[in-house]
Structure 1
Amino acid sequence: MDGAFIITGGPGGGKTTLLNALAERGYRVAPEAARRIIRARLAQGLPPRPDPTAFAREILASDMEQYRTARAHDGVTFFDRGVPDALYMLDLAGAITREEAAGLVQRFPYNNTVFLLPPWEDIYGTDAERDQSFEEAVAVFEGMSRWYAQWGYQTVEVPRVSVEARVTFILNTIGSD
Structure 2
Amino acid sequence: MNGDFDRFVVVTGGPGSGKTTLLNRLGHQGLTSTVEAGRGVIQDQMTIGGSALPWADQALFAELMLSWEMRSYRWAQQRTEVVLFDRAVPDVLGYLRLAGLSVPAHASAAAELFRYHRQVFIAPPWPEIFSQDSERRQDLAEAERTYDAMVEIYTELGYEVIDLPRAEVATRVEFVTDRITSGRAEDTAASR
The match for 2:187 is none
Count of residues in correspondence between the two structures:
175
The 5-angstrom pairing of residues 80-91 of structure 1 reads: 80-91=86-97
**TM-score (norm. length: structure 2):** 0.85
The answer to whether the 8 A contact 1:8-1:117 is kept is: yes
> How many percent of aligned residue pairs carry the same amino acid?
37
1:44 Cα deviation after fit: 3.0
The match for 1:13 is 17
For CA contacts below 8 A with separation 6 or more, give which structure has more relative contact order: 1
Q: 1:22 aligns with which of 26, 35, 45?
A: 26
The match for 2:63 is 57
Kindly indicate whether residue 135 of structure 2 is the aligned counterpart of residue 129 of structure 1.
yes
1:41 Cα deviation after fit: 2.1
**TM-score (norm. length: structure 1):** 0.92
Distance, in Å, in 2 between the alignment partners of 1:130 and 1:114 is 23
Q: 2:125 aligns with which of 119, 124, 128?
A: 119
Distance, in Å, in 1 between the alignment partners of 2:24 and 2:70 is 21
Q: 1:93 aligns with which of 98, 101, 116?
A: 101
Secondary structure class of the residue paired with 1:2: helix
Q: Structure 2: which amino acid aligns with 1:96?
A: P
The match for 2:176 is 170
Kindly indicate whether residue 6 of structure 2 is the aligned counterpart of residue 2 of structure 1.
yes
Q: Structure 2: which amino acid aligns with 1:64?
A: M
Residues 10 and 94 (structure 1), Cα distance of their counterparts in 2 relative to 1, 3 Å cut: same
The match for 2:35 is 31
The match for 1:157 is 163
Secondary structure class of the residue paired with 2:6: coil
Distance, in Å, in 1 between the alignment partners of 2:82 and 2:140 is 31
Q: CA RMSD in A?
A: 1.7
Moved more, 76-85 or 49-58: 49-58
1:118 Cα deviation after fit: 0.6
Which structure 2 segments of 5+ residues have no match? 184-192
Distance, in Å, in 2 between the alignment partners of 1:120 and 1:34 is 20
The answer to whether the 8 A contact 2:23-2:33 is kept is: yes
Which structure 1 segments of 5+ residues have no match? none
